[in-house]
Structure 1
Amino acid sequence: MRFGKKAVLASIATAAALALSACGGGGTSGGSSSGGAVNGAGKTLNVFIGKNTTYPQQQQQWFDDTAAAFKKATGADLKFETFASGNDELTKIQTSAVSGQGPDIYSLGTTFTPTAVATGAFAQLTDDDWKALGGKDKFNQAALGISGPDQNKLYAVPFASRPFVMAYNKDLLKAAGIDKPATTWDGLVDQAKKATDASKGQYGMSIAYKDNFDPWKYIWAMSEQSGNKLVDGKTANINNDAVTKAYQTYFGWLTKDKVVDPASVGWTNSQALANFASGKSAFFLMTSTGSLNTLNSSAIKDKYDYALMPTQISDTAPSGARPVASILSGDNMGIASYSKNKDLALAFLKMVTDKDQQLSYQKIFGDLPTSSDALKSLSSAPHMAAVTDAAAKSFATPFTGAWADIQLALVNVTVQSIPDLASGNVSQANLSQRIKAAQDSAQQSLSRAK
């Protein structure tokens, strides 16, 4: 999905104006969060947000135009500051919480939100706050699943959604006699085998084994689909048959099923995407709308589409299984507990989550809306049916301050298994040892977490 620079910038300016002209929520600057326009004359609202390295010019223009429109609507200045990594953001949160000074609003990755909230630096949103934002019903309800530990304790507002799906090559599936992508992992492996022709350098799947983020998502999904929650309260459930089976399945695509290019041992997600975009595989798993630009300018631009990731292991779902389509992925925004500009913060959050602004943001940056109305309007757009379906069928990862450490422990099992994968076999003894280490690490983090 490509746009000319002038069209992109015009779209940003128009959306900011439309969103703010419709923004009537919020309260007076004196502290009420319901009713009346916000008067922020002489004040500055500070927003801390991740730097967009893919679209840096567009992001800066969005900053400028949004700030100008916010100034016109509220009389307040809007200042953006960017961070480059989760560590940078966490450091800022911790130092600001101690000093009682810093940004009014933080943009938070969804899986990072529990860790950030555990610092105590964010204000719990009240019923009046949600009314000022347009109500909880304004949002895709699945997106609220990682805004707090439960529906009565919410600390963050869903801003952007990036559910994971899989891309497939329609021509390769047709040539293999496959009507549509499988809905189970067992079925997907069978299809991948049919589409594999190693003599031509063609494989069933493009997988990024060396990526820093992909591996744990497979293990979490398969574990949930097996009826095993990786975290149950203060207890980690990693060293068990369900997780072992998940890793065996994930590694087995390369070592046993032979449906993955051996070179994928060294691939990141972007390299796996490039492989799929060149027409050399039938399926590219664990991708989002961030792959649209690459695929729409590739050799298979007229040959691909998206489908839900498998939501079951096999045709028979075990007791307690959840049909997860994706982790609840994207960005939230939280208001700092020390902020003296809560009404301005709520006015800003209402603005950026209103339908027009959300649709414009999607066109520019590719992220799906969290506004339910905006999301529904995209379901009939090219390649969007499965993506919007995944957004509605996404599930939250555990809301615990230990989750960042837990997902790292899960990734480390794969990192430590790369040499074994390269040699063609991950022994059960080695796998068991690594899973036990992940269990111990996860349990220690859970025991320390608030």
Structure 2
Amino acid sequence: MRNLRAAAAVTLAISIAAGVTGCGGGSDSGGGSNASPKTLTYWASNQGPNIEADKKILTPELKKFEEQTGIKVKLEVVPWSDLLNRILAATTSGQGPDVLNIGNTWSASLQASGALLPWDAKNFDAIGGRDRFVDSAVASAGAEGQDPAAVPLYSLSYALYYNKKMFADAGIATPPKTWDELVADGKKLSKDGKWGLGAEGGNLSNNIHQVFVLGKQHGADFFDSSGKATFTSDGAVAAVKQYVDFMAKDKIVAPGNAEYAQNQSLTDFAKGRTGMVLWQAAASTFAAQGMKPEDWGVAPVPVPSGTPGQDKQTNSMVAGINIAVFKNTKNIDGAKQFVKFMTSDAEQKLLNKTYGAIPPVKAAQADEAFGAPDLAVLRDTLSTSAAPLPQVPNESQFETAVGTAVKDLWADAAAGKPVTTETVKAALEKAQQTMGQ
């Protein structure tokens, strides 16, 4: 997802256990669920460089929707650091929006709460049909075998961004394709106060995204087929250790990155302090910080060997933003009209191009605008070598537990404490115990 999400709160599990359902409370409608609404409230996630940029991008589009339908949309752009907790509060209080954006990895957890409108065949038909959307994007909208809890809005994947001047100065001709190459290049770049690779050690979600992919490359998932946590498997331990070792062993990540949690690694990259960064759709952020397109390049995230693909060659999680409707909103018809508008071919092309994302709508994705070199990498990754995070009800609790374990290991590395297979396994064992399994 764009502008990495805050880690999920454990209170989500409490909400699920209690069977609480959400209720949209921001509408101005004179009737029940079949009434024609006059207004809708919409919580948009912060996709651009800042909240004001999002307002500037979305306001004319919402005005366009109002002109077409007569429905006024009250917009609030919510920072990722606040969004999930705001959603959880809305599910318990009943005071929430009619429509909202959610990180796609939250889909199964929020689905289990019963708060969101299920997108069955009838509801999908109301917005043009399920087959308009890329399969992998729909697969990240809820648990397998259930009607999705949301509709894909923006699709993203990870890529490796690199500073062309720093590479040239270090005598590096091409971006790394394997992790061994990345470490070797990172060591060449890590000198004179500059570093090879940027990381966000304090960002729980980013930690999860990275170790999930490395886990796939080590032949491990963090849950078994029954949904039981398997955080201490050999592959999971190896994945976490490999990630933290970029600082602890390889010395290509600055110790200060252990505390980064608010996109500081992108600032370091844009200012020429870091040579590489693993990120989702970073072009707009680089531009906002004064970096020109010719200053940076983009390549697929490395794999152990060979080329990216499935299973052990996975090199990204299926990232993205979904748009959802609170099930008990009084403006159900208006809410579905708004989802249809936001996922229309025209809006998908406009919004995804603006945000540097890939449309999850097939017809929009085919537009030549998404063939630009950086977007082509994201598009190809999504179609060939990305995998969805586990779609299990306690996925968000997993992000908190394991994300925190990795954060603590980053802190150990920054402090010069040894990070060993044993200490990593102990941290993951502690995280697994918090899952109550």
Q: Same fold (TM over 0.5)?
A: yes
Q: Distance in 1 between matches of 2:174 and 2:47?
A: 35
How many residues were matched structurally? 400
1:164 pairs with one of 132, 151, 158: 158
* Aligned residue number for residue 371 of structure 1: 361
1:89 corresponds to: 87
Contact 2:36-2:331 within 8 A present in 1 as well? no
Deviation of the 1:332 alpha carbon: 0.9
Encode CA deviations 1:151-196: one digit per residue, 9 max, x unaligned. 6522210112232212012344345554432333233223323x33
Q: Deviations over 1:61-117 (max 9, x none)?
A: 555544443343334343345545111111102332xxxx75332321112222211
Deviation at 1:348, TM superposition (A): 1.3
Matched, 1:284 2:277: yes
After TM superposition, the structure 1 = structure 2 runs for residues 303-322 of structure 1, keeping only pairs within 5 Å, are: 303-310=295-302, 312-315=303-306, 321-322=311-312
- Partner SS state of residue 417, structure 1: helix
Q: How does 1:25-424 map to 2 (within 5 A)?
A: 41=36, 43-50=38-45, 54-61=49-56, 64-81=59-76, 83-84=78-79, 85=82, 86-96=84-94, 102-150=96-144, 153-193=147-187, 195-198=188-191, 200-232=192-224, 233-268=226-261, 270-285=263-278, 287-295=279-287, 297-298=289-290, 301-310=293-302, 312-315=303-306, 321-377=311-367, 378-381=369-372, 383-392=374-383, 393-424=385-416
Deviations 1:3-42 (A, max 9, x none): xxxxxxxxxxxxxxxxxxxxxxxxxx9989xxxxxxx656
TM-score (norm 1): 0.78
Residues in 1 aligned to 2:112 and 2:146: alpha-carbon distance in whole angstroms: 16
With over 3 angstroms needed to count, the CA separation of the structure-2 counterparts of 1:92 and 1:298, relative to structure 1, is same
CA displacement at 1:294 relative to structure 2: 2.4
DSSP-derived class of the 1:379 partner: helix
Note the C-alpha offset of 1:55: 4.2
For 2:251, what is the secondary structure of its paired residue? Answer: coil
Residues 162/440 of structure 1: CA separation in 2 closer, same or farther (3 Å cut): same
Once the two structures are superposed, residues 110-142 of structure 1 have per-residue CA deviations (whole angstroms, 9 ceiling, x without a partner) of 122222111112222222322222222322322
Relative to structure 1, the CA distance from residue 116 to residue 409 in structure 2 (aligned partners, 3 Å threshold; closer, same or farther) is same
Stretches of structure 2 that go unaligned for 5 or more consecutive residues are 1-30
Distance change in 2, residues 1:128/1:432 (3 Å): closer
Deviations 1:320-343 (A, max 9, x none): 934333222222122222234433
C-alpha separation between the residues in 2 aligned to 1:124 and 1:243? Answer: 33
Q: What displacement does 1:363 show? A: 4.4
Aligned in 2, Cα 1:56/1:438: closer, same or farther, shift over 3 Å? closer
Alpha-carbon distance change, 304 to 151 in structure 1, aligned in 2, over 3 angstroms:
farther
Go from structure 1 to structure 2 and tell me whether the alpha carbon gap of 1:205 and 1:72 turns closer, same or farther (over 3 Å shift): closer
Q: Which amino acid aligns with 2:115?
A: A
Question: Partners in 2 of 1:189 and 1:431 — Cα distance?
Answer: 20
Structure 1 residues 296, 375: CA separation in 2 closer, same or farther (over 3 Å shift)?
farther
Deviations 1:278-308 (A, max 9, x none): 33433212x1224533257546652311112
Q: CA deviation at 1:238?
A: 0.7
Confirm or deny: 8 A CA contact 2:353 2:370 kept in the other structure: no
Kept after mapping to 1: 8 A contact 2:244/2:410 = no
SS in 1 for 2:360: coil
The 1:174/1:376 distance shift into structure 2, 3 A limit, reads: farther
Unaligned runs of 5+ in 1: 1-28, 33-39
SS at match of 2:258: helix
CA distance in 1, matches of 2:308, 2:140: 25
